Amino acid sequence: MRVFVTGSTGWIGSATVDELLANGHDVVGLVRSEESAARLTAKGATPLRGDLDQPATFRVGASDADAVVHLANKHDWADPEGNDRVQLGAVEAILEALTGTGKPFVIANGLSGIVEGRPALETDASPAIGPDSDRAGTENLVVEAGPRGVRGIAVRFAPSVHGRGDWGFVNWLTTTARTTGVSGYIGDGSTAWSAVHVSDAARLIRLGLESAPAGTRMHAVAEHEISTKAIAEALGQALDLPVVSIDPADAAAHFGVVGRFFGQTMTGSSALTRGLLGWEPTGPGLIDDILAGAYTAD
């Protein structure tokens, strides 16, 4: 397949491009700079210059492709409403281009906010409905696009998609620990995250593109539950720093933006995903990755 990938030089996007190329697919990646274009070209992929604020670019990329993976996101924490508007414009442009083709369209989402008090299941519909909701309700737009002739699929990522080179949540926690001189967890550290190695997440995306039915919600979850205290302890050991509890009232000041997520339980099951697609994670676990220096090696 010729696959159009947005966010193609990002953390998950880079691994996804590698996975697709290694399995015989052609890749066209959305890029914003000459540097990113050169990196894609060196891998054997084709760059397409564009930007999240330019829906026409998404329309062009999707029209010329056999499948689309939409991973790009502005992640502007200061302007969530602006993020959602841009996300909606991009998704609507892709859906317009794919309508009536039967082509697969994989959209990314997270596990947070799906349910409360238990792990999220693949059968749990996203509560984000409509343009004023989180991510403008785009997960539902895509997975419900079957009547439009689009094989819509959602991939929900664990809060830690980890590995050497990750610049996500665990990297932020590492930076905070180095800056403050302590590896902290919030309260009693009983909140928990799911986790998945980036290579396993990329393989799941490929498997979903190749065979997941329309309306599938896939969970990129290898380890279902790791306490935030255990994450802090592993970082403390790797950085040779003391491990301390941070009062919930001080979490925002201590951790910054990541504190909001570190204080939440964000877990999910991947049992249905594994059964449907034969996906079995093979990458290292999060704690092993931290202790092996994935976040602390120079």
pTM of the entire predicted model:
0.95
Q: Report, in angstroms and rounded to the nearest whole number, the Rg of the chain calculated over CA atoms.
A: 19
Angle subtended at Cα 124 by Cα 118 and Cα 126, rounded to the nearest 5 degrees: 110
Whether 248 and 183 share a structural domain: yes
Is residue 33 in a domain? Answer: yes
- Residue pLDDT, tens place only, 58-113: 999 999 999 999 998 866 666 778 788 889 999 999 999 999 999 999 999 999 89
3-state DSSP assignment of residue 46: strand
Q: What does the alpha-carbon distance between residue 109 and residue 177 come to, in Å, rounded to a whole number?
A: 27
CATH code of residue 155 = 3.40.50.720
Residue bearing tokens 């999240």: 52
- Residue pLDDT, tens place only, 194-235: 999 999 999 999 999 999 999 999 999 999 999 999 999 999
Q: Residue 85's domain spans which residues?
A: 2-159+196-220
Whether 47 and 151 share a structural domain: yes
Is residue 251 in a domain? Answer: yes
Whether 115 and 60 share a structural domain: yes
The count of other CB atoms within 10 Å of the CB of residue 207 is 18
Q: What is the mean pLDDT of the chain?
A: 95
Is residue 298 in a domain? Answer: no
Number of domains in the chain: 2
- Average pLDDT value for residue range 141-158: 97
Whether 102 and 237 share a structural domain: no
Q: What does the alpha-carbon distance between residue 149 and residue 214 come to, in Å, rounded to a whole number?
A: 9
